[in-house]
Structure 1
Amino acid sequence: MQTIRFEDQGQDFLEWDIDQEGVVVDSRPFQRHVWCGTQVQDVAIGQQPTVITPHVGVAGLLNYRVVHIRQANPFADQNGMGAVDVESRLHCLQRFDLIQCRIALEVPHLQKSVEKRLRSRIRKLERHEG
């Protein structure tokens, strides 16, 4: 999951949460009902992403540029509270998919034992995909 923030030109939305498949799952502060389910491609800072809305079905450029991209911390729960100790992180990563494992490797101050276990899980998941 990632959150992308758009330049503010007075529009009714400033942020979208996008899942691993590139689909909008939340829009803030408004227009959730308009944008949820939209496929988003070509997300990059300074660029206008390509969007395919479910009700139109045609690809087009969004009118607003991306100003920030934040990857969700896979160790965090729905309230944003995250596991920080080794034991809790090792327990959490047992349920991670491949994308979550790769994102978890980017978490600041990751303990070496957690990093080692994540790399092992990534190898295991890649073998099952192939």
Structure 2
Amino acid sequence: MKKPLLEIHFEDQGQDFLRWTLKPVKHGYQVLDSNPLQAWAWRDAHILEPARIRPGCYLTVMTPVSKTQMRLRYRVIRVTTLQEAGHEPA
């Protein structure tokens, strides 16, 4: 079964990104887009613990440029599959 594209929403603490679109990859998920800002910084970041992609959790990512691990300070508040939101996967 193919994994769907996901859209995750973060709690708003004044940061430049509130929502990520995630695409499935071999070992979990990777950031496809970041909104409203910072797509340049987060695109291609890998989610290191895909099981934590759920409301209430903090995500740990591998950054695309420096290849360092970091835990985000912003909790996931909602996860939606893009098919449910009326979008078709790429």
Deviation at 1:44, TM superposition (A): 2.0
Q: Give 1 or 2: higher helix fraction.
A: 1
State how far apart, in whole Å, the 1-side matches of 2:54 and 2:72 are.
Answer: 12
Please, which moves more after superposition, 20-29 or 52-61?
52-61
Match of 1:60 in 2: 70
Q: Give 1 or 2: higher strand fraction.
A: 2
State how far apart, in whole Å, the 2-side matches of 1:27 and 1:58 are.
Answer: 19
Gaps of 5+ in 1: 83-95, 97-130
What is the RMSD of the two structures over their aligned residues, measured on CA atoms?
1.9
> Which of 33, 37, 46 matches 1:39?
46
Give TM-score scaled by structure 2 length: 0.78
- DSSP 3-state at the match of 1:51: strand
- The question of 1:70 aligning with 2:68 is answered no
After superposition, residues 81-92 of structure 1 pair within 5 angstroms as none
Equivalent pairs: percent with the same residue?
Answer: 33
Q: Work out which structure has the larger RCO, using CA pairs closer than 8 Å and 6 or more positions apart in sequence.
A: 2
Match of 2:21 in 1: 17
- DSSP 3-state at the match of 1:48: coil
Gaps of 5+ in 2: none
Q: Describe the superposition over 1:24-52 as per-residue Cα deviations: whole angstroms up to 9, x where unpaired.
A: 01110001101101001332210111100
Number of paired residues? 78
State how far apart, in whole Å, the 2-side matches of 1:3 and 1:61 are.
Answer: 18
Segments ≥4 residues shifted beyond 3 Å: none
Give TM-score scaled by structure 1 length: 0.55
Greater Rg by CA: 1
Q: Describe the superposition over 1:48-80 as per-residue Cα deviations: whole angstroms up to 9, x where unpaired.
A: 111001112122211110000001118x5xxx4
